[in-house]
Structure 1
Amino acid sequence: MTDHCAPTFDQLAHSLGFSCEEAGGLVEFRNPFGLENWTLTVLETTVILGSILALIWAVIRLRRHGDPTNLALWFGATAYLFIIEPPLYFPAAFGIEEHVDTMFAHNVFTVDFLWGRLPLYIVAIYPFMATVAYEIVRSLGVFRRHGALLGATCVGFVHHAFYEIFDHLGPQLRWWEWSTGNSLNQPFFDSVPLPSVVVFAALWPMSLAFCVYWFVGRKVDAGTRFTGPQLVGRTVGIGLLASLGTFILPLPATVFGAGSTTVRGTLYAAELIVLSLVAIPILFRSWQSQRQSTEIPHYTNAFVRVYSPLYLLVMAILWITALPDLRDATNGLTANGDPIGNPWYTLACFVIAILCVAAIFTTASPGHRSAQPEISDGSQRSTERAATTTEAAP
């Protein structure tokens, strides 16, 4: 691999406690009990298991209900990962080193790919968190009531809450380290680049969710069945177009804030505020409507109902163990020199995530907790027409 040990990455690697030159090749395995600290093993176990269960759920949905939406979501998120991440790891290999320097370095975990750049849990976290956010919004009936754009906006908001709980803890526990001198990371929100808070926590899942619902979800709701090649083609397209959306959605900040960190930060924050102001009332009204709806059974996702509370519990425990060092930090650094996140922002994200999980528990009708496909007006009319045709047939 060309320039697999760039100076910035090498510096970040040494700061995290490993050597870039000694990082393995395409795949490397390590003792899970010999990592930087015990939290790395807990994190990767939680995320990888969640991603595997999300994939199993997606296969079950397809086989039992003929609904490939979850499968397109899972593989679309994974396709997005492999489009976005490699250029960030190896800018020289992609010929963009003059424009993009190393932005961050992950610590080494039990399973790593690409010369220590890509831990397995990072591969897993994309489809895992995308599934949690999308299915919470879907369970509240937002897509069915409000369509692709507003549904995707709500997915971005929910994903942001779940992701920032993790994002503000990572640098302190040495899960990764950001390059503070990289202009693309500016401005910072405590230990996290504001572009990460907005783009990777909210805008990319919004872009992904829009593509998934537009190209697969709404078609399934209308009764369309896809062949294998059709589904593969749409899933690849979802990954490509979601990547394009991630470039388009932050354009106000990246274009108008190009010459000023302050302006760029203000515009990033404004985008997140607008997204939140749109999503919150829609989620609340959808929750109310779902509770009052006589349509049963409501769509529910057993995986999300079980695993999203478990994820929040694990993250809460990790945060509690990190609080003593955070409390004693000076000038934003712990005694070990690790940057701390914003505990108050994280607390707000915890509250939002908990309310979202509680919402999907308080909308399902007793006795109707198995997953059923959402019924759009179009598919309902199609069913009624089919029934009428059947009754009229000799």
Structure 2
Amino acid sequence: MADHCSDTFAELATRLGFSCQEAGGLVEFRNPAALENWTLPVLEFTIVLGAVLALVYAILRLRRHGDPTNLVLWFGATAFLFVIEPPIYFPATFGTEDYLGTMFAHNVFTVDFLWGRLPLYIVAIYPLMATLAFELVRMLGIFRRYGVLLGAVCVGFVHHAFYEVFDQLGPQLRWWEWTLDNKVNLPFFDSVPLPSVVVFAALWPMSLALCVQFFVGRHVDAGRRFSGLQLVWRTVVIGLTASVGVFVLPLPATVFGVGSDTVRGFLYAAELAVLSAVAVVVMVRRWSALRAGASDVPPYRNRFVQVYALVYLVVMGLLWITALPAFFDAVDGVTPNGDPIGNLWYALACFVVAILAVVATFTVPHKKSDAVSTDTDEELAATGTA
């Protein structure tokens, strides 16, 4: 679709190794062995497999336990994707050119949609990451103990840790490339825009989790059952409302930071710091209470999420290790191949947080006698994680 090849996108595509003019069609398939480098199909396989297994698990949980929360979360995250992403990919078409411009370009993967703009793994990463973060928090019983808002804050915090492990590595391995002079991306945190670090890594999953728990999760916890039609309209509302939250939650930075990248960056960082501080206090207190024998023991354990969260972290750890030689050879933040590097120390801190979140779910008691809320061996076998 040549008429959508803006000069900026064409330049980013060329640097990533493909031609904007030749990226064709609503759907396009490529040989995984012919991609820019071997890390692209590894990333793609890991994310797509995880999203598919998360969907299978969500369906089984609804069918066997009458709990639609996971399914609504999965489709709510996907609905959010299709509300948010198209105006970013085609700003001229959606009338957002003056405000958004061309923010970035994804590299092409084995399966791509929308003329090379939307890789399949990006469609998959929204529901997968949301599922991992939401379920880790849910397994600690934080929603039940502290309510919808604080539970959502913890989901944003955990999601941020899992996402930044990936976000800080992507530009160096040419998974995507940011537009360096786009005002929406400023200021940068090494190779990653600070708005991405805060909004897409922490605030959007917080918004999604809040909506999912408010419209569905808290009612399921109270024993309510939903009809199919009720779940459909609630899922649509969740996707739309979560999208609104993405504009509302960063308002302190976007409003008071107008005209100054420094002020905007400070306010973004402050929002993330507050969210993180609250989440750490809540999660540590909840974990400590459970370890000390709290009476309100969570009746729920998601073995799929426990296992696949570790799979994801192992894969990302291996990809980081292979990237380290070029990372340490970088000069002024750019590798010998001309690729920008992320912040290794921040990524390591996120690795630690993500690992601790997973480990915490293994170290707290659960009511195994609760047949309605506890996973069965059949569910685990069906998702391939038994």
TM-score by shorter chain over 0.5: yes
Q: TM-score range by the shorter chain?
A: over 0.9
Maintained 8 Å contact 1:157/1:279 = yes
Counterpart Cα distance in 1 of 2:213 and 2:262: 35
Q: Displacement of 1:298 after TM fit?
A: 3.0
1:332 paired with 2:326, answer no
Secondary structure of the residue aligned to 2:112 is: strand
Between 185-194 and 217-226, report the one with greater CA deviation. 217-226
User: In structure 2, what is the Cα distance between the partners aligned to 1:33 and 1:187?
Assistant: 36
Whose Rg is larger? Answer: 1
Residue 119 to residue 371, structure 1, CA distance change in 2 (3 Å):
farther
Which amino acid counterpart does residue 159 of structure 2 have in structure 1? H
Distance in 2 (CA, whole Å) between partners of 1:257 and 1:59 is 43
Q: Distance in 2 between matches of 1:372 and 1:305?
A: 16
Q: Deviations over 1:359-385 (max 9, x none)?
A: 0011145966987179xxxxxxxxxxx
Mapping for residues 202-281 of structure 1, pairs under 5 Å = 202-281=202-281
Q: Deviations over 1:167-211 (max 9, x none)?
A: 000000000000001000000000000000000000000000000
Aligned CA distance change for structure 1 residues 126 and 146 (closer, same or farther; 3 Å): same
Measured against aligned partners, the alpha-carbon deviations of 1:69-113 in whole angstroms (never above 9, x if no partner) come to 000000000000000000000011112212221100000000000
- 8 Å Cα contact 1:142-1:283 kept in structure 2: yes
Give the conservation status (yes or no) of the 8 Å contact 2:26–2:115. Answer: yes
For normalisation by structure 1, the TM-score amounts to 0.92
Pairwise CA RMSD of aligned residues? 1.6
Give the conservation status (yes or no) of the 8 Å contact 2:141–2:298.
no
Q: What letter corresponds to residue 50 of structure 1 in structure 2? A: G
Judge conservation of contact 1:130–1:205 (CA < 8 Å) in 2: yes
Give 5+ residue unaligned stretches, structure 2.
Answer: 376-386
CA distance in 1, matches of 2:338, 2:148: 44
Letter in 2 for 1:265: G
What displacement does 1:4 show? Answer: 1.5
**What secondary structure, in the 3-state scheme, does the structure 2 residue paired with 1:258 have?**
coil
Is residue 323 of structure 1 aligned with residue 324 of structure 2?
A: yes
Could you say which residue in structure 1 is the equivalent of 2:36? 36
The aligned amino acid for 1:162 is F
The CA distance in 1 between the partners of 2:295 and 2:3, in whole Å, is 61
Contact 1:300–1:369 (CA under 8 A) maintained in structure 2 = no
User: In the alignment, does 2:294 pair up with 1:293?
Assistant: yes
Partner of 1:67, secondary structure, is: coil
Q: Quote the Cα distance in structure 2 between the aligned partners of 1:189 and 1:72.
A: 33
User: Which residue of 2 is the match for residue 389 of structure 1?
Assistant: none
Unaligned runs of 5+ in 1: 375-394
Instruction: Provide the rounded CA distance (Å) in 2 between the counterparts of 1:296 and 1:258.
Output: 46
Equivalent-residue separation in structure 1 for 2:179 and 2:207 (angstroms): 26
How many residues of Structure 1 are paired with residues of Structure 2 in the alignment?
374
1:290, CA displacement in angstroms? 2.4
Displaced runs of 4 or more, over 4 A: 294-297, 365-371
- 1:305 Cα deviation (Å)? 1.1
Contact 1:26 1:113 in 2 (8 A): yes
What letter matches 1:299 in structure 2? Y
Identity of aligned residues (%): 70
Corresponding residue of 1:390: none
Match of 1:188 in 2: 188
Q: What are the residue-to-residue correspondences of 1:121-132 with 2, within 5 Å?
A: 121-132=121-132
Which residue in the other structure is 1:120 paired with? 120
